[in-house]
Structure 1
Amino acid sequence: MTTSNHLLEVRNVETHYGKIIALRGVDLTVDRGEIVSLIGANGAGKSTLMMTICGTPQASSGQVIYDGEDITRMPTHQIMRKSIAQSPEGRRIFPRMSVMENLIMGAEMAGNHDLEAGLQRAFDLFPRLKERRNQRGGTLSGGEQQMLAIARALMSNPRLLLLDEPSLGLAPLIVKQIFDAIRDLNQSDGLTVFLVEQNAYHALKLAHRAYVMVNGKITMSGSGKELLAREDVQAAYLEGGRH
């Protein structure tokens, strides 16, 4: 019996908010060691899919499979203990805690006891955080807060990293630093990444494979290069988006 190379599978998932259908029969896969991007306009359902994978809200129908196990009906806290880490939209760091305290909290919440290795990786990836390690999270710039949110997620030493809109509201230079760091993590550690992102140009350049979502449905898929080259994708998502 061969084991599947899929680390994450979303199978025909529908998600409702009350009577409103937010996701309509979504199918996608993320293979081990892969970076997969999901692009789409604001309100397309991208963040809803990310939250459904994490169990809040739960899918109304269909399945979410992680490493061969059906996690569709699991509570969020159990899902997040399965070597899955999320950096949510809006950089929800602890603003009154220092950078170091935020990072330690990330390790403790996931039960990761190799604290020194986690801190070393965070500071190697984002040297700015080492400089700011005693500073309160809430006093950091937007870019530094995004670095902290990603580094805190990595403190759990995950096998799958879920990133929700990491470039939102950031200056172009900082966006490049963030995406370079994600690429480095994937290439050096083999980390599997599922990225939800409005900045289609960066997301498609980074991705091994990508999907396009419109009104809660997947309308296109292919390699990042293939989708970047498509005229309909360029017209819909890349006009003026090359930052």
Structure 2
Amino acid sequence: MTQTLAERAVTRKAPLLAIRGVKTYYGKIVALKGVDLDVQEGEIVTLIGANGAGKSTLMMTIFGSPRAREGVISFDGRDITRLPTHEIARLSIAQSPEGRRIFARMTVYENLQMGASINKFAYFDQDLERVFALFPRLKERINQRGGTMSGGEQQMLAIARALMSRPRLLLLDEPSLGLAPLIVKQIFDAVKLLNKSEGLTVFLVEQNAFHALKLADRGYVMVNGVITMSGTGRELLAKPEVRAAYLEGGHH
């Protein structure tokens, strides 16, 4: 069936990730109160907000744990709201979770194998070279156990492990948390490079609003489980209320 140009334009504009009216509960506590958010293919989108605003809850809800009690989450036009987590992972969505959660007793190499297992090691050698080019430190540490590495190295490993499955969408949860500024810069530079050179779509949850908004095409602000503002990264950086809440005492 051939599509007209107008139909094709409409089809193309559907977001890669669409979140509509999502509500998530912890017991009786409403953590997300009807969240609407879009990530277009090829974009870097960031979600900023204070600690406890619900940012990580949204990231985990996309992956089905906890599950959205109301609303719809769709990826590439497919409703994934009720899918089990392992099935979501097979759809070319990868997550580098908050707190890194690498396999501490496994070596760097074994952790990367775990990431590649999702697509059955289809491009293993190629992807190993790719992540080592991004994070040369990991190549030096290839036989070292994950748990004995520094926080920055573990964060690099968590991202590299996610990349080994060749995702179309990379979810990054607080990648700069607790890391030295130089390491944070390396990680953000790597994300920017992946986006520019490979067109990787990235959804980033960050407390470091300045770095995140500088990196992002678009951003959203979350307060108490509700999206209160959205715009381009530059627009949000310029807003006095964003500066006052998230940037004062930091960068200007």
TM-score range, shorter chain: over 0.9
1:170 and 2:179 aligned: yes
1:142 is matched with which residue: 130, 136, 151? Answer: 151
**In the aligned structure 2, how far is the partner of 1:167 from the partner of 1:147?**
10
8 Å CA contact 1:112–1:157 kept in 2: the answer is no
1:104 is displaced (CA, Å) by 1.0
Shift >2 Å, 4+ stretches:
109-112, 240-243
* Residue 236 of structure 1: aligned partner: 245
8 Å CA contact 1:200–1:241 kept in 2: the answer is no
2:218 is matched with which residue: 194, 209, 227? Answer: 209
* Residue 46 of structure 2: aligned partner: 37
8 Å CA contact 2:89–2:118 kept in 1: the answer is no
1:7 and 2:16 aligned: yes
1:77 is matched with which residue: 83, 86, 99? Answer: 86
2:60 is matched with which residue: 42, 51, 71? Answer: 51
1:117 is matched with which residue: 117, 121, 126? Answer: 126
1:135 is displaced (CA, Å) by 1.0
8 Å CA contact 2:72–2:79 kept in 1: the answer is yes
The aligned amino acid for 2:77 is G
The aligned amino acid for 1:8 is L
* Residue 26 of structure 1: aligned partner: 35
Q: TM-score, normalised by structure 2?
A: 0.94
8 Å CA contact 1:161–1:194 kept in 2: the answer is yes
| Residue identity (%) | 72
8 Å CA contact 1:200–1:237 kept in 2: the answer is yes
Task: Give the gaps of 5 or more residues in structure 2.
Answer: 1-6
| Range with greater deviation from structure 2 (108-117 or 55-64) | 108-117
Q: TM-score, normalised by structure 1?
A: 0.98
**In the aligned structure 2, how far is the partner of 1:161 from the partner of 1:26?**
19
2:100 is matched with which residue: 88, 91, 101? Answer: 91
1:185 is matched with which residue: 171, 183, 194? Answer: 194
1:110 is displaced (CA, Å) by 4.0
The aligned amino acid for 2:190 is A
* Residue 130 of structure 1: aligned partner: 139
The aligned amino acid for 1:147 is M
Question: Deviations along 1:90-125, whole A, 9 cap, x unmatched?
Answer: 011111111111111110134342101110111010
* Residue 203 of structure 2: aligned partner: 194
Task: Give the gaps of 5 or more residues in structure 1.
Answer: none
8 Å CA contact 1:92–1:149 kept in 2: the answer is yes
**In the aligned structure 2, how far is the partner of 1:39 from the partner of 1:116?**
36
**SS of residue matched to 2:183:** helix
**SS of residue matched to 2:221:** strand
**In the aligned structure 1, how far is the partner of 2:148 from the partner of 2:59?**
28
8 Å CA contact 1:36–1:210 kept in 2: the answer is yes
**In the aligned structure 1, how far is the partner of 2:214 from the partner of 2:32?**
26
8 Å CA contact 1:36–1:208 kept in 2: the answer is yes
Question: Deviations along 1:163-208, whole A, 9 cap, x unmatched?
Answer: 0000000011111110000000000000000000000000000000
**In the aligned structure 1, how far is the partner of 2:119 from the partner of 2:94?**
9
RMSD: 1.1
8 Å CA contact 1:45–1:215 kept in 2: the answer is yes
**In the aligned structure 2, how far is the partner of 1:143 from the partner of 1:110?**
26
**In the aligned structure 2, how far is the partner of 1:73 from the partner of 1:100?**
33
Query: Over alpha carbons, which structure has the higher Rg?
Result: 2
